[in-house]
Amino acid sequence: MCFASGAAPYVDITAEVEIKDWHYFHSVGDYTNRPGPIKNEGLFRPVGTVHCVVGTNRWMIEIDDAHALQTWWFTGTNILEQVVLKSTAKGDEQNHPGDRFAWIHETKDGNPFRPGGQGDLMFGSGEKMTWLAFCSGSYLKQADRKLYPLSDFWKESAVHRGDWSSSASTFQDGLGLPVRIDLQTTNSQRVFLYQVHEVTNVLDWTFPREFSAVQYWLNGRTCELYLTIRGKLKTIHEGTEPEVPAEAWKAVRKQD
């Protein structure tokens, strides 16, 4: 497929992502009604739909659910995050449907993960999984890249201080998305595993049609299941460059 001079290719994707959080707090009870602008979910969450637009060094990820429309744009130098509330948690009197919040984070590589002691630039496992599956190609090409588990729980665990080895294989094309990522502790306990099961090809780039991920945590000497994710591609086609709307930039400036 040909492009006009100077025009960069982009691919538009929608996918279904199913998350099961096996953390023991969820086995005790669902705490969906905790206060805050975005509700927490229980163990058996509904399948969510994600939308993203992917280029070699720019991307957009959008998650639209019953609680909020959340969007992240990577501009090449920053990640801009916007949340537009659709509903609020029980007892939350400070926030209202339609409220808009925006944050901007400086990053030259588009990687939303951060090491221990720092909060990730994306909060939930679903959006980080979407980034890893569809938007991480340019970051994975870096020789000094560091890979992390999806959930932040490892930051709270003395055992999971980040002391693990990582191996990653990628598709051999211009985008370079991951085929398999394996993180293991120094004593060969698996921390995280991502695998692609089926693929498709658009604009000479290979994308996962079906993928899965699993994260573990160490309870003493026992390795226990913490998080499982399954993803399935719904639609994929040539897209256009994602642009940050003026409303999002205005929302950031209002918080300065």
What token pair was written down for 99? Answer: 């409220």
Tell me how far apart the alpha carbons of residues 220 and 90 are, in angstroms, rounded to a whole number: 36
Task: Report pLDDT for 26.
Answer: 47
The one-character DSSP state at 173 is: S
CA torsion sign for 64, 69, 75, 77 is: negative
The residues that bridge with 71 in the sheet, in sequence order, are: 62, 82
The residues that bridge with 210 in the sheet, in sequence order, are: 198, 232
Find out whether 194 and 132 touch, Cβ atoms under 8 Å: yes
Task: Report pLDDT for 31.
Answer: 41
Find out whether 19 and 13 touch, Cβ atoms under 8 Å: no
Task: Report pLDDT for 157.
Answer: 64
Name the pTM for this structure: 0.85
Cα Rg, the chain, nearest whole Å = 18
> Model confidence over 137-152: pLDDT tens digits?
999 999 889 999 998 8
- Segments in the chain below pLDDT 50: 1-6, 25-41, 256
